[in-house]
Amino acid sequence: MDSVLSWWLAEDTRGYQNAQRIAALMATLIGIQVLKLLSPDFEAISYTEFGIDVMVEETSTGDTGKYLFWISMFAAALMMTIRRPMSFAKNLSEQLPLVWLVGIGVVSFIWALAPFISFKRSVMQLILVFTLFATVTYLRDPRQIFLIFYRLSIVLLLLNLLSIPIGVGFDVNGNFRGAMSHKNLFGQNAVLALYFGLAVLWFYKSRVNRMVWMGYMTLWLVLLLLSMSKTSIALLLLVPMLLIVANFVAHLFRMNLGVVIASFVAACFMFVAIGTAWFGVSIKPFLQMFVDDVSLTGRDFIWAFVLEEVSQRWFSGHGLGSFWGIGFNSPNVKYGEGFVVHIHQSHNGYIDLLAQLGVVGMALYLAMLAQMSAHLGKIESNAPRLFFICWLIVLFSLTNNITESSIFRGIHGVWVIQLIMIAIASRVYLDSKRRVDVHIN
């Protein structure tokens, strides 16, 4: 057993504690589940082709297998925490905004449109956060997450390549989707896989086969370009550039990187507000001065509909998991028009968060990001590469949620990985705070 684990983690594991072995196994199983290695999607469904009844049934019912998996992972995490509860409690207590956010989500079934569905989905979020924090807490080295996901992404790459000879790799428009339901979902996974490859090169350079690594990076990049997922392709380059520039400004003015990024976002909003007032036009005509397709392929129509619904329950929302996919009572099914009836997300994670938990949820989510930013700021000098890669992945998730939705969206891969990065930030901050002599960089 130790020989296999030693190969998998690229180090001698004979001196590991049982909790550290279990955590490594859990991280692997979670990666398999998140990347859908056991359930590749070679038969993507378009709900508009099958009618509203099929869409309602598919999106309002849960996957029993996934529930059983996460409950099993939760049970294993609970066993680890019972034996060493203080380590877990300290790690989780460093992210109280996230704890409060999940707590508000659980009690939101009281005012939810679909109380039972909301309670079930919010409990799943509680299980998810508990399990991920426990896994990261008991790992021997949090960097092992990147190696594990890199190895699993090699398998995912092979599955995507397999979709080509069996004739299902490209959608009707000729865009590569591989073993995933949509080209945009493929694009998200491709970018994350490339970032995992970058992390492995930094942390495990001498223990990873260089030829395999080069082939891995090249093939993922080629397939990403074939997917024509414009958002993912753009973010692959823009996110590192933005991070480097923002970090330079942060060092120049001795500010926290999170504050710089938040200031940049606020400046963008101010620019739009001042620009629209100056020219006396609405937002859309103003943005058309800089961007051709300000509708973002019809997303503005979706956003307008959801924001109208949000205005009805702006403070506490419609309940976690109680807006999309709740049967015929889903607001988009009852009140939507055209293609809005057939969708199950607003293609904007922040608008979806407002729809579910209102401004209360949004405030707690921002507080969670602020806490993560503070943690990463404390470890930058001791672990600059870990600081950079955690910010890189989180920033990709945050920017991706402008046009796609993953925040609090079940066990969406981007959401799970964002939570893992937040757990890593808490763990490494605590390690540095306790002056633990662990070689991080």
Closest alpha carbon to 372 in 432, 418, 329, 309: 418
Q: Where does the pLDDT of residue 273 fall: very low under 50, low under 70, confident under 90, or very high at 90 and above?
A: confident
Q: Report residue 59's pLDDT band, with 50, 70 and 90 as the boundaries.
A: low
Model confidence at 338, pLDDT cuts 50, 70, 90, reads confident
Provide φ and ψ at 23, rounded to 5°.
Answer: -60, -40
Asked if pLDDT for residue 438 goes beyond 50, the answer is no
Which among 301, 327, 409, 309 has a CA at the least distance from the CA of 55?
A: 327
Q: What is the mean pLDDT of residues 314-320?
A: 94
pLDDT tens digit string along 85-94?
999 999 999 9
Q: Which residues of 39-61 are buried (b: 16+ CB within 10 A; e: fewer)?
A: ebbbeeeebeeeeeeebbeebbe
pLDDT digits 0-9 by tens, 394-403: 999 999 999 8
151-200 confidence digits (pLDDT tens): 999 999 999 999 999 888 898 889 999 998 889 999 999 999 999 999 99
pTM of the entire predicted model = 0.93
pLDDT score of 288? 66
CA distance linking residue 415 with residue 406, whole number of Å: 5
Q: Region 271-280: what's the mean pLDDT?
A: 75
Return the structure tokens found at 160: 């995507």
Tell me the two tokens of residue 204. 């495990």
Answer for the pair 423, 91: CB distance below 8 angstroms, yes or no.
yes
* Predicted pLDDT at 370: 96
Other CB atoms within 10 A of residue 420 CB: 25
36 phi-psi bin (left φ>0, alpha ψ -120 to 50, beta other): left
Reported as a single tens digit per residue, the pLDDT across 368-408 is 999 999 999 999 988 999 999 999 999 999 999 998 999 99
Q: Give the phi and the psi of residue 17 in degrees, each rounded to 5.
A: -80, 160
**The residue count for the chain:** 441
Q: Which residues contact 431 (CB under 8 A, 6 or more apart)?
A: 438, 440
